[in-house]
Structure 1
Amino acid sequence: MRGLTLGMVLALATLQSRAQVLESHIDGRIDLLEIVVDAERLSSDGPVWWRGAVTRFGTGFLRLHMVIRSGATVPPFIVSVEGDRGGLFSYARDDFGPDGLWTAAMPAGTLVVSLIGAERPEGLELRIDSVMVEGNSGALFSTWGGVDETRPVNDPAVPPEVRALGGPVARLSFIRGGKPRSCTGFLIADDILLTNEHCVSDLESCGSMTAIFGFERDAAGRLGFGTQARCAGMVRSDFALDAALVKLDRPMSSSFGLVAMSQEDVIDGAPLVVVQHPGGAPKQVSFLNCHVLSALVDGRAASSDLAHSCDTASGSSGAPVFNGEGRVVALHHYGFAEGQVDKWTENRAVRGARLEAWLRANVPP
């Protein structure tokens, strides 16, 4: 592919219908726990004053919900959570809000929780009241022609020009409506992520969200778990555009880059690329048989969307749609369900040209 532009690469891909479905992904459950760590359960010797474990197998990820109660005189402490299949995260007192926190996502297995401090944390109560058991087994129901042509981002068959677009794209894990969900999002500023309003836009979804960057398999098929950032607050959301701007708890662009946004509309037939986490799976791309079907269609608002033929699935909501120059021209949000022909019969994404003014007004320069 050396010497070819991204547009030329996409043009070489072979160009080869259903009710609309908002493509957030629901998979898993939340189990209640009754783990209480107080003075009676603390060890007499530190620096590890308590240690316990939560185990769940046969699923994708585990996350714990933890709450602390402590007085101002409690000595400094951290709560560490380590997975036996990968992941180690530590939380200090200031990381816990009034309602506690959801830990980062770690592969299913055993999570070991440790309460650590230089001094015995008298007056501290730690509660672990829930475990999120989240899968990654979404059905690829929004496939054009019924054949799934998505590819893992580092598959040797994926052109380097396409692969290079995936850095700023993250898998989002969160709770909405009391259920574990996953979507896709991408960096448009150092610490600001763009996704769909129907994914992350309220206190519940933001408070429980973690964004996993670099969650992908390498060319040999080995899974990299990436780096995680939490939602630090909502910048703005818009129902009609189905768009939401999420502020992360730290900058991520130095490690993963930023997308480049386009201010221009695309034309019918133009080649596209969608970088996504369908079904919560490791990062994948759709570029085969992936093009604009109609440059101007209705979404949540009149004439807000474009229609495209790129294969997606639940969990692809919030994915960036790139043009042949590698710029984001749309924000994917709708798929379709087989056998329901009373509605539209293609995937839809919010037009970048429609988003541009909204982004300019809400993203700090």
Structure 2
Amino acid sequence: MNRMMLVAGSLLALTGCAGNVDAPGAGGADDPDELETAPGPLRAGDVIAYAAETSHPYAGGWKQAITSPGATFVRVHFDDFSLAKGDYVTVSSPDGTQSFRYEDRGPNGDGDVWAFAVDGETAIVELHSTSGGGHGFSIADIGHGTIALAPASLTSGDATPGSASLARRPGGGTPDIVCATEGREDIACHPELDLQQRPVARLLFARGTGMYLCTGWLVATGDDRNTTLITNNHCISTQDEATTLETRFGYQNTACGGPTVAAGESVMGGSLLKTNSRTRTRSRGGLDYTLIRLPGNPQTTWGVLTPTTKAPSVGNPINFIQHPGGRPKEIGFWRDDAHTLRCQIDAIDQTYSGTVSGSQIGYSCDSEGGSSGSPIIDAGTGRAFGLHHLADVAWLSCRNGGTEMSAICADAGGLIRCATD
């Protein structure tokens, strides 16, 4: 079977479809006859043991360099975090260009704090206190990055930056390819889509022994006082994972093809509202989505995308906004280097890899590991009518797949607000 797939794939010259390498393997996990890749988040690092702590209670300040040799980024995980009023902890890069502040019992109020990622192999942890008296904290473990979260420029015709696993070759049925050409661009190349791109964020989180990357976006709700994020169930499915979440908005180049990344905003943690599993076969779900309540009100700055229950049609142009490989925000707009073929819907009401019957759309538009959870947006209305989650969903098609938002809207009920146009 694999030999037939490779030979047949070599005869194709399809344009503009990259396999979503969120899943490193071929074949649906629930049905061996399926050709689709079973999805999973992109692994970005490891969770490793690290022992350090203040005295309990602490008598004054405390400072330590947390170094993990060879790491591309470090996330410090505090346990039993509890500080006296007015005291605070900073986690900073050695040069001070990155610095994040934590106080009281941490952003989640429970003493379990996953600090924001600091680029490089060293994070400086400092407790700022003049008199002491608080409990302090322990450092239970750290996130050790194994892929770079540094900015990279993407221009038409270039190989995908920062992704050694992608190769330019035609094909189908494999998860780690760019089919013939690369059509993605920096989101800054499309300033006319500012309102559509702003709610889209990069997600970095811990699960078991690993650090992982996906994409998510702020979804409209019936209560503007609360902020709700949507991503895939195969990215985040438990409260423990949501607690570790670092949601980074505005992580994008400031100019088309430029080297400078915008400052943006990071939000820590979240409360799991609802999740629906990837497949029906084992978990009786099949819509592959998760809703998370984020702390604060980031939607007042970054806005929201409104889902629609309107059925997409074949040939409908789409905007596929994503954080492939955890890089600064990009858009699947074209299917080819020459920018002549628009990303579009190729199939509707499909059933892929154990999903709910008739709940899926297919599209030929580049994606990559880390793109899972991205919105598939109707280019005409700006409404989101799909949630990306699968790659290579049809035999010899090099087609990606997403769950139709109409199905998610029906399942989520009053947790999200959906339009009909």
With the shorter chain as reference, the TM-score category is 0.7 to 0.9
C-alpha displacement at 1:40, in angstroms?
9.6
What letter corresponds to residue 261 of structure 2 in structure 1? L
Gap change, CA 1:287 and 1:59, over 3 Å in 2: farther
- 2:305: which partner in 1? 259
Amino acid at match of 1:294: A
1:79 aligned partner: 89
Shifted more, 98-107 versus 170-179: the winner is 98-107
Aligned match of 2:193:
162
Q: CA deviation at 1:126?
A: 2.0
- CA deviation string 1:105-153 (max 9, x = no partner): 222243211112242236x242112221232455455656242221121
Partner of 1:9: none
Q: Give the residue type in structure 2 aligned to 1:310.
A: C
Which residue number in structure 1 is paired with residue 181 of structure 2? 147
Question: What are the ranges of 5 or more consecutive residues in structure 1 without an aligned counterpart?
Answer: 1-13, 44-48
Q: Deviations over 1:41-68 (max 9, x none)?
A: 855xxxxx11111234655432110123
Q: Is the 8 A contact 1:65 1:101 kept in 2?
A: yes
Counterpart for residue 324 of structure 1: 379
Mapped to 2, the partners of 1:102 and 1:110 lie a distance apart of 16
Query: Contact 1:142 / 1:312 at 8 angstroms: preserved in 2?
Result: no
Structure 2 CA distance for aligned equivalents of residues 69 and 292 of structure 1: 48
| Structure 2 letter corresponding to 1:317 | S
Tell me: CA distance 1:364–1:160, structure 2 relative to 1, closer, same or farther (3 Å).
closer
Equivalent residues in 2 for 1:7-22, closer than 5 Å: 19-22=36-39
Q: Which moved more, 1:224-233 or 1:131-140?
A: 131-140
1:58, 1:229 → 2: CA distance? 26
Distance (whole Å) between structure 1 residues aligned to residue 373 and residue 141 of structure 2: 27
* CA deviation profile, 1:192-245 (whole Å, cap 9, x unmatched): 101111111202211111100011111132123421112331111111210110
Matches for 1:242-257 after TM superposition, within 5 Å:
242-257=288-303
| Deviation sequence 1:312-335 (CA, Å, 0-9, x none) | 011111000111222111000012
Partner of 1:313: 368
| Counterpart contact for 2:16–2:179, Cα < 8 Å | no
Q: Which runs of 5+ in 2 are unaligned?
A: 1-14, 20-34, 149-161, 167-174, 221-225, 278-285, 336-342
Q: What is the CA–CA distance in structure 2 between the aligned matches of 1:361 and 1:164, rounded to whole Å? A: 24
Q: Hey, what does 1:4 align to over in structure 2?
A: none
Q: In structure 1, what residue type is equivalent to 2:142?
A: V
Count residues with an aligned counterpart.
338
1:348 alignment partner in structure 2: 401
Q: Secondary structure at the match of 2:202?
A: strand
1:132 lines up with 2:143 in the alignment: yes
More strand by share: 1
What CA distance in whole angstroms lies between the structure 2 residues aligned with 1:177 and 1:52?
Answer: 26
> Hey, what's the Cα distance between the residues in 2 that align with 1:308 and 1:23?
19
Question: Which residue is equivalent to 2:117?
Answer: 105
Counterpart secondary structure, 1:354:
helix
Go from structure 1 to structure 2 and tell me whether the alpha carbon gap of 1:130 and 1:15 turns closer, same or farther (over 3 Å shift): closer
Question: For residues 374 and 16 of structure 2, what CA distance do their matches in structure 1 show?
Answer: 21
Partners of 2:303 and 2:85 in 1: how far apart?
Answer: 39
1:357 maps onto 2:410 in alignment: yes
Query: Helix, strand or coil: the match of 1:223?
Result: coil
Residue identity in the other structure for 1:133: H
C-alpha RMSD of matched pairs (Å): 2.8
CA distance in 1, matches of 2:262, 2:192: 21
Q: Which whole-Å CA distance do the structure 2 matches of 1:275 and 1:143 have between them?
A: 19
SS of residue in 1 equivalent to 2:268? strand
